[in-house]
Structure 1
């Protein structure tokens, strides 16, 4: 009997066709994300689940007694209740590597957009306010030859460092759970404490995964350590930042600006003070949002799912759930 799969979000036809070669499947055909109560109703006879945001907890597992594999279309897997999944022997997978360059491109774009005030000046021109020579009040900040501090030197962090070093000739500081001597030798980046990174960087880029230890890793103390001229960039997860502390730092001029792809609550609420700040660039969690990268992520997630359901170790097994593979 072929395994049964539920696809909880819209994916390209090629991805469905690939799954169809090995599994029977149902898919959510509604707009947006499938409502939680609807998913709990339809997942009961599924052996595998393809998703990217659905919280995989005891409630969902109780509604899916046959479930063996959950494949995330995401590099992150903070939607996995690892304890609950371990207790059931559920295999979990993610989609690293295929989005590294795309996210790194976006981070550099956020840095340039914030430093050179591109969205603000775009609005200035379109509002008909450009009537002569641009004065100092609209000047931006250079990116080249400045110091960038990267908090979290994973694969994406390395891609950011490469662009900053060889494209913009920047000095690169980093802090990470483990020191990356090979990266230091290859690119001349400098390992340091988080305190030194915050004090010396012109751009602080947060790229750490979301874990219990990284929740609010940037808060009042950290923003107070930054240069008043520094710019903060977050393309990790919104919960890694104490958003009230960030708003306070920006409002009081403790830092110069921020470029944000993620927020403590998403979609961002319309009354959030960040939306009224000219020195903040806000984009809607689009780190991996190009057509090619999203296709590659969906296909990799499908390959992970099928391989696990066929009784083989998937290429991108979540490390904490490795013992679930028999």
Structure 2
């Protein structure tokens, strides 16, 4: 078996805003395996400025993993504990290599195109007019769950956008999730949650910055509507640390991004703990290309969650790879009549 790694820059169709800034491109890395003429591919979906493995030695560690591919998936995963995106890329690549179709990792009713995954429609931050345009677009596309990035523009304008949705659709018709990406100041967070509560929101992701454990614990105890931990899970590597975090904060939900938390194995650890402590969860992609999104979607279907998942990011880029995934009426489908990009291997 031989292994190699390849950098690829994904270009956004239009600048995409979060409370951490505006993105125009997204770096990703691929691990390619080859054995007896067969190929396997995995994506290491690092997000600079957020991933726990955004480190100076990232490429060095990728090279090490490829040089030591003979150790096997399990030993490599355990050796790469502080590099969750590489853990995921390795997991994915080995699964890809062993399957007859390198893109069909988890055969199911989903990959047979007989069942779909309900997803949320993502609305990026920007000027109020741009956000309103996106909201109208998502509603017209048939989404029953909308997720808004908030915390970057004037808070009153964000409240007005939520009022716009609620003036047309009740909470029974449209579920609204908001994601603050840690934007709220500690001394303002509860007041802002109270103001947001008027709009019958499903939940808010990461209202304050990660690492403020006491403040987040207090918020989760007093919040008028559910809080979901997202960034809070990043960099929590051991099973013991994961359990201590959930026992302490007692969130209502956790958001699981396999590229950030150690791939399928790391995600499964969080799910087992969440179920143990009666904490809800859903799975979200982390701006991977369609290679990573495909793997996450196939695995997510097998988890049998009835909640809308965060997997609608495949259309963000100008230079993504053609694949069978498609979004229709707020659901993700695996359209077997659509083929994978035939020049994918040349592109990387």
Structures share a fold, TM > 0.5? no
| TM-score, normalised via structure 2 length | 0.32
| TM-score, normalised via structure 1 length | 0.33
